[in-house]
Structure 1
Amino acid sequence: MERKHFLKSLLMGAAAAPALLTACSKEDSVTPSTATTGGTTTTTGGTTSSSCTVAPTETEGPFPTHTPSSYVRSNITDGRTGYAMTAKITITNTNNSCAALAGLLVDIWHCDAEGNYSEYGGTAMQSTSYTNVHFLRGRQTTDSNGQVTFTSIFPGWYSGRATHIHVHVYTASGTSLKVTQIAFPEGTGTALAAVNGYAKTLSGYTYNKSDNVFSDDSAGVQLATVTGSTTAGFALSISLGVPA
């Protein structure tokens, strides 16, 4: 593991655990649906990585999918309520002028509207237990355009981290090519501002510039484009380069 990412993982373990306990302590009760707030349209986005840059390698933990091959599906919502979101991810080959890569396996996972992950819980890292469910996790195979599309909800957040989506890319035979994370644009007019942290609001939120994963991404390689609204739903898109 590169020294930078090793240090990141140490920082997450040492500093994030107490904060996560606070952020994940809410009961699984009322989570807003797509009809509970206004319909301000957001058009502000990030980049789609046209410079053929390798996506940064990031930590897979602390909540990776236990058996990703069991969740081959495009709709990963699994009953979780929240603002609808589709995520279109394009995988390109940085060893071949960022040509589209077909036939790769792409896993994604993220927290729910309250900041909780499925498959985990009942610990200091996440007090609410969802150990026996598998929401907001899935796997797809890239098409001829190098794309996968998932139907999900807009992620919430938990203490110490900005809103994010985890991504793990494998070859068709299961060899790992890249573990990375996707960041969301911030500020007035963005989807993040419209969602406003769901029930928790954005009080105490960690922004990208202070996040221990995204703070060094000055080129915005991990920053997605997110458009849409709370009423119509959101559309996320990003291109991630891997050396294949």
Structure 2
Amino acid sequence: MTIKVVTIISIIMERKVFLKSLIIGALSAPAIIEGCKKSSSTVDDPSGTGTVTNSGTGNTSCTVAPTETEGPFPTKAPSSYSRSDITDGRTGYPLTSKITINTASNCAALAGAIVDIWHCDAEGNYSEYGGTGMQATNYQSVHFLRGRQVTDANGLVTFTSIFPGWYSGRATHIHVHVYTAAGNSLKITQIAFPEGSGAAVTLVNGYKKGMSGYTYNANDNVFSDDTLKIEVASVTGSLTEGFALTMKVNV
């Protein structure tokens, strides 16, 4: 009898422990699920809309674009990449860039100019380089996010790519090199992106990297002196539909 009583009590205690674990599990499940959602999320969208509400103004003047460095990652053979779609398999939020080249003296469209652009991928890496202290990942044998187009009668070129990521010390940007039809260099400059609440940079949130350690335009060694925001493009769009950049570069 003593053994049976002990056995029954043991079974009852085990059932209580089991039921308690079910209750605790049920209560904590939402928190666990929410935690998983947060850890897998790559986008911080404070507005809750996923749509740009701060598009910036872009360059509306006839002021000549500032001359900037080509940086440490210029395209090695730009004439080899005459193409409008420069995505080349890189993943990220779609970005269509419409860049108009004008003559600074009268703001007239410059037709027949050669325009090269290049920028980093979602992780902040450039093609054609790597395997060094400046960029650990080796992409020397590939050529993504680089391309060349010739301006039409309206001075316009259009490129399809992805929204650039960022890397240490720099704000989000696109490099631009403009040549005459004969191939003579006219202007080397860079395009900055609008920042702040509702801007595309904020919505994209550095992809998986986040924005911790990000360098904003005001502290960027290229854009910090651009008090008139001549180098800042206008960017519209959303996380679901992709983004559109428009920029006027006066040469």
Report the TM-score range of the alignment, normalised by the length of the smaller protein: 0.7 to 0.9
> Which residue of the partner structure matches residue 124 of structure 1?
133
Is 1:91 aligned with 2:130? no
- Equivalenced residue count is 208
1:74 matched residue in structure 2: 84
Q: Matches of 1:160 and 1:101 in 2, distance apart?
A: 33
Amino acid in structure 2 at the alignment position of 1:71? Y
Distance 2:154 2:196 in 1: 31
| Mapped contact 2:58–2:229 kept (Cα < 8 A) | no
- Equivalent residues in 2 for 1:182-201 (5 A)? 182-201=191-210
1:149 equivalenced with 2:129 (yes/no): no
The correspondence of residues 43-62 of structure 1 with structure 2, limited to 5 A, is: 43-62=53-72
Query: How far did 1:44 drift?
Result: 1.6
Task: Provide the TM-score with structure 2 as the length reference.
Answer: 0.80
Write out per-residue CA displacement over residues 101-153 of structure 1, whole angstroms, 9 at most, x where no aligned residue. 00000000000000000000000110000000000000000001100000000
Q: 2:114 aligns with which of 79, 102, 105?
A: 105
- Residue of structure 2 in register with 1:27 after alignment: none
After superposition, the CA RMSD in angstroms is: 1.6
CA distance in 1, matches of 2:236, 2:56: 10
Contact 1:106-1:169 within 8 A present in 2 as well? yes
Output the amino acid matched with 2:128.
Answer: E
AA in 1 matched with 2:226: D
Give the residue type in structure 2 aligned to 1:73.
Answer: R
Q: 1:217 aligns with which of 226, 230, 234?
A: 226
Structure 1 or 2, whichever has the larger Rg, is 2
**AA at the equivalent of 1:194:** L
C-alpha contact (below 8 Å) 1:227/1:234 kept by paired residues: yes
TM-score (norm 1): 0.83
Q: Which amino acid is 1:77 matched to?
A: T
User: 2:243 matched to 1:234?
Assistant: yes
What's 2:13 paired with? none
Per the alignment, residue 180 of structure 1 pairs with: 189
Please state how far the C-alpha of 1:51 moved relative to its aligned partner.
Answer: 1.8
Residue in structure 2 matched with residue 159 of structure 1 by the alignment: 168
Q: What is the deviation of 1:61?
A: 1.8
